[in-house]
């Protein structure tokens, strides 16, 4: 009986949710985003870990702190953190890769110092593909290399520069997707980048 009620709970949570994370995790679950067993094992440190991100609280942290820089990035780009509702915890737990990748996407923008333009997006995508999170990211990067210069011809130089930079950072850095970034909001962002081998 409980299993029969689960789809109803999910639909209601989706329709009533202000959490963009709910929408994203449901789409990922529906389309079946998958990872290799190697990546799944590297994600063990973040199993069941998806703390709520409160931009108001992060805005109170010192200037130059990781949390403050993240909050500034989100507000400047009119973005909301991808928080997950309690009703969708079971789905989130069953698709750890999708959950972690979606929640950390904007964190990656901040840590890698890529903006939200097409050029910035391809930098983050190149980083994630180089870190080998999922085969689907390699396909996405291939498509982005074809489409982004057409969609934003004024950014061609930056697109290809960020493609190179993203790959270089992806090779140099530790496996980032399994990091508990949210435990380090109060630290200076430069210290966080150094710890993760991004500088």
What is the rounded CA–CA span in Å between residue 124 and residue 106? 9
Q: 37: pLDDT confidence band, cut at 50, 70 and 90?
A: confident
How many Cβ atoms sit within 10 Å of the Cβ of residue 12?
11
What is the rounded CA–CA span in Å between residue 8 and residue 15? 11
pLDDT of residue 47: 86
Instruction: Tell me: pLDDT of 45 over 80.
Output: yes
Cβ neighbours of residue 61 closer than 8 Å, sequence gap 6 or more: 67, 68, 71, 185, 186
Cβ neighbours of residue 39 closer than 8 Å, sequence gap 6 or more: 97, 132, 133, 134, 177
pLDDT of residue 86: 67
pLDDT tens column, 143-158? 999 999 999 999 999 9
Instruction: Tell me: pLDDT of 87 over 70.
Output: no
What is the rounded CA–CA span in Å between residue 26 and residue 38? 24
For all residues of the chain together, what is the average pLDDT?
A: 83
Instruction: Please name the residue that has the structure tokens 């710890």.
Output: 195
């Amino acid at each position: 009986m409980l299993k029969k009620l689960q789809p109803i709970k999910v639909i209601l949570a989706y329709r009533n949710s202000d959490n963009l994370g709910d929408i994203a995790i449901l789409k990922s679950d529906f389309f079946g985003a998958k990872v290799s067993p190697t990546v799944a094992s590297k994600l063990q440190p973040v199993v069941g870990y998806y703390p709520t991100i409160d931009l108001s609280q992060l805005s109170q942290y010192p200037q130059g702190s990781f949390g403050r820089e993240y909050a500034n990035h989100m507000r400047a780009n009119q973005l909301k953190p991808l928080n997950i509702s309690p009703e969708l915890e079971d789905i989130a737990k069953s698709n750890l890769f999708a959950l972690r990748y979606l929640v950390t996407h904007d964190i990656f923008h901040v840590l890698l110092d890529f903006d939200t333009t097409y050029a910035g997006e391809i930098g983050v995508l190149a980083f994630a593909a180089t870190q080998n999170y999922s085969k689907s990211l390699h396909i996405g990067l291939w498509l982005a290399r074809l489409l982004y210069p057409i969609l934003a011809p004024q950014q061609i130089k930056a697109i290809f520069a960020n493609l190179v930079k993203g790959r270089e950072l992806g090779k140099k850095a530790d496996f980032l997707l399994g990091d508990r970034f949210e435990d380090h909001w109060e630290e200076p962002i430069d210290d966080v980048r150094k710890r993760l081998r991004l500088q």
